[in-house]
Amino acid sequence: MAVDVVLAETVRETGQPVLRLYRWWPPCISLGRNQPAKGQYDDAEAKRRGIDFVRRPTGGRAVYHHHEVTYAVAVGDRQLGGPRRTYEAIHRALLAGLRLLGASTEIVDPRVALRPSTVPCFQEIDGGAIVAGRRKLVGSAQLRERGVLLQHGSILLTGDQSPTTELLKVAWKSDERDRPAALDELLDFLPTWGELVNGLLSGFERLLDVEFVQSRLDDAEKGRMMRHSRHFSDPGWTWRL
């Protein structure tokens, strides 16, 4: 989370958009910026399972990060036409990349929005979500701050989001039909990490007419990252709501 905030700061300084693709270890449940969570999760059971918690800078609802790909895009808030158009443009690019990988996916009607809630991200379909057969495959959320949009999203490799409900202190009833979609069901075999990255990058390059250049954090960015990491590791932030 700290790295993504640093990237947004760099975009604010330079105007150069950034795409980051990454994985998580250990497994972690990320909470939306304004999602109620304090006292609602069994933290002891989460620790027993080796699952961490973090609160994102972006909105949205709880996501279990384990067998999935997380993307983060930082871009000027008007470069792609404002928050809604940015959301739609990024999802169209992701859709193109997923189709290049062989996944049959589509985007649902963009008019439905979800409010902050303990209902997990992948339990309900929001407007503009990427789905396969009416089951959600990609969940995304945004932060708009000081001229920059940061958009996070999770692309599921397997459909296991069960910790987002099993760790809630209040029992959650779910239907098998609510289970999210996942690439391991949509493809004959899961691509390697390199194949996933190349496919998703190709989708962005084709849809948004861009060319990516690989980069790393410089020393100044690493220093800012360490400062931000103290904020995101603070339980006062994680459990503020």
The CA-based diameter of the chain, rounded to the nearest angstrom, is 48
pLDDT tens, position by position, 69-125: 999 999 999 999 999 999 999 999 999 999 999 999 999 876 556 566 677 888 878
β 28-31/63-65 pair status: antiparallel
Sequence spans of domains, the chain: 2-238
d(Cα 177, Cα 184) in Å, to the nearest integer? 17
Write out 180-225 in H/E/C secondary structure.
Answer: CCCHHHHCCCCCCHHHHHHHHHHHHHHHHCCCCCCCCCCHHHHHHH
Q: Which of 29, 121, 125, 141 is catalytic?
A: 121
CB 53 within 8 A of CB 118: no
Check residue 133 and give its pLDDT.
87
CATH among 3.90.280.10, 3.30.930.10, 3.40.50.11540, 3.40.50.300 for 2-238: 3.30.930.10
- Across residues 197-224, what is the average pLDDT? 96
The confidence band for 15, taking pLDDT boundaries of 50, 70 and 90, is very high
> Tokens for 180?
């999210």
Does 28 qualify as catalytic in the annotation? no
pTM above the 0.75 mark? yes
